[in-house]
Structures are given as C-alpha cells and as structure tokens.
Amino acid sequence: MTEEVVYKAPRWSLTRAQDSRSAPPVGSRRPRTEVRRLRAGLAFLAPGLLILLTWVFYPTFYALWISFTDSTGLNEPSFIGLDNYTRIFTDVDTRGAIVNTLVYAVSFAPLVIATAIAMALLLNRKDLPLRGFFRTVIFLPFIISMAVAALSFSFMLDSSTGLIPYWFGQVFGTPMPDLLNDTTWAMPTVVFVAVWKTFGYFMIIFIAGLQGVPEEQYEAAHLDGANALSRFWHVTLPGLRPTLTYVIILAANFAFQAFDQIYIMTAGGPQRTTETIVYRVYTEGFTNFRQGYASSLSFVLMAVTMVVGVIQLSINRRQEKDIA
C-alpha cells in the first residue's frame, strides 16, 4: 500500500500570493486618471472663476473696505470706522431716500404680482384663442431696456409736447397734471412704468407654475360646489406657493434696485420725492464724490434685500410644514 504524497506549499509563498491578489497592481492607472480629470475640471472652471474673481469678488470686497474709509475716488482713503454707517441714520436726505424706496417697493411688488397673476390665469385658459400671440405681446416689454422704456414714456408724458397730455386735453377739455413734475404723481408714474415693463416676465413664471397644479384638484373643487374665487383661494394659490415665493423675492429685488426710470424720468425729483437708495448711491458716489459713504449705502441696501429674502423663505417653509 503506497502512501499518497501531498505537496504543501510553504506558508511564505501562500501569504505572498494572497497579498499579490489583494494589493493593487503596481502600474495602476486610477490615481493618474483622477488627477487628469481634476486638471480637466479645473481647466474648464478656470475662465469662469477668473471672471468671478475679477468682476465680482474683488470689487465687492474692495467696496466693503471703501465703505469704512473717507474715499472720494480722488484721494488716498483713510480708515474712519463706522462713521459712514452711522451717518446713514442721521442724514435727513438719506432717510428720505429710504422712505421713498420702501414706498416704491410696497407699491410696485403687490401691483406687479397681482397684475401678473391675473394675466397668467387669463392666458392659461385653453379655450382662449391666440393665447400664444397675447403671451408674446405682453412679454415683449420686458425685453426692452428700462432706459429705453423710461425715455419713451418721458416723451409721451411731456407736458408741452407729449402725446398723452394732448389727447387728455382733447378728451376731457382740461390740462392733464404734469405727472413727472408733480410731487403727488411722480412716484406713481415711475412705479407704473416699472410695472408695465416687468409684469409680462412674472406672468410667464406664473403660467409655468400653473402647469404644476393638478387638474384633478380643480375638478374636485368644482364638484364640491366651489365657485371661481374659492377655487383660486384654495387650489390655485396653494399650488403656486413656491412660485409665488420666488416672484416675491424677485420683485422685492427689482424694487430695491430701481434706478433707470428714476434717473431718466424725474432725476430724483420733484423735491426728492422719487429719490431712492440706489439713486442716492449714484449721487453720493459720482456727483458728491463721497464713494465711502456711497459704498456703505450699497451694503445696507444689500443687507435689507437679503433680510427680506430670508424672511420670505422662512415664512414659506413654515407654511409648508403646517400643510404637511
């Protein structure tokens, strides 16, 4: 009877073979591939980052530094601490500009949102003929520059040569008030121009938001006997809540940055009744050469805009939690 001889490999050779199977090959290309991908990504991002660094980040931080100095744009800036910021709350003209900005925002935002929602509901009807044509026509003013729109309205509203005052006198037999030089009508006039130009843009956003409201909800509300107002209040508005939040923040930003039509149509007058914070920034920085003070006004305006956005977002999130 012969014994079967079984060969047993040395322990060191088995360990070495297992290590060779578990360890990555010496010439692995994975690290090199990742490095190449990283370099390619940075190469694609570099132009955009360079533009942001040159035209956004550097000017922003430089303006922030200037806001703590007595810079005029022509002198060597000297650090003066918070003097520019404290002056904002003691300067009578600046306080008037802040009030005018709030009046403009409170007038513009609700009016443009209400007009945009009304037109969106009308032009979202499937039985409306030529609704695509009307959507395009209403959206067209947004494409026009605000400066061009303001210049056009300035010519049309001119008290001596304007077409609108002429036809007003022909129809009513009495001279029309000089809207651009009247302390009562100047602010409503510039607000109207802004609403006319921008409500078509918000209308398109609301039309897109209406596409996300399920038709089944309208059908259920109709079967329950809800009228048009109830369907709007209980179905349309809740469905438009995310869109409405976005539009409110955007409208507030538009309102706080109002400048073009004011500069062209009223130049802040009459008697500073249309002078907003942005127009005040312009006059302080480029007319009075107080660039440090103008920069501080800009950052206060930015802070107010951010606070309004954060408040609106927090309110929207709280409402969503209550619904959930």
Is the pLDDT reported for residue 176 higher than 70? Answer: yes
pLDDT at site 22: 52
- The residue-averaged pLDDT of 24-39 equals 70
CATH node for 93-323: 1.10.3720.10
**pLDDT, tens digit, 9 for 90 and up, residues 240-257:** 888 998 899 899 989 999
Of residues 229 and 312, the one with the higher pLDDT is: 229
248/242 Cα distance (integer angstroms): 10
- The residue-averaged pLDDT of 91-106 equals 93
Q: Which of 99, 192, 184 is nearest to 154 (CA)?
A: 192
Is the pLDDT reported for residue 306 higher than 50? Answer: yes
Residue 74's CB is within 10 A of a number of other CB atoms, namely: 7
The per-residue pLDDT of the chain, averaged, comes to 86
What residues contact residue 261 under an 8 Å CB cut-off, 6+ apart? 146, 147, 149, 150, 153, 190, 193, 194
* Lowest-pLDDT range of 1-15, 158-172, 188-202, 261-275: 1-15
**pLDDT, tens digit, 9 for 90 and up, residues 19-30:** 545 555 555 455
pLDDT at site 291: 92
pLDDT at site 319: 67
pLDDT at site 1: 46
Is the pLDDT reported for residue 156 higher than 80? Answer: yes
Give me the residue spans of the domains in the chain: 93-323
What is the token pair recorded at 248? Answer: 């409110």
Check: pTM over 0.85? Answer yes or no.
no
123/127 Cα distance (integer angstroms): 9
- The residue-averaged pLDDT of 208-236 equals 85
pLDDT at site 130: 87
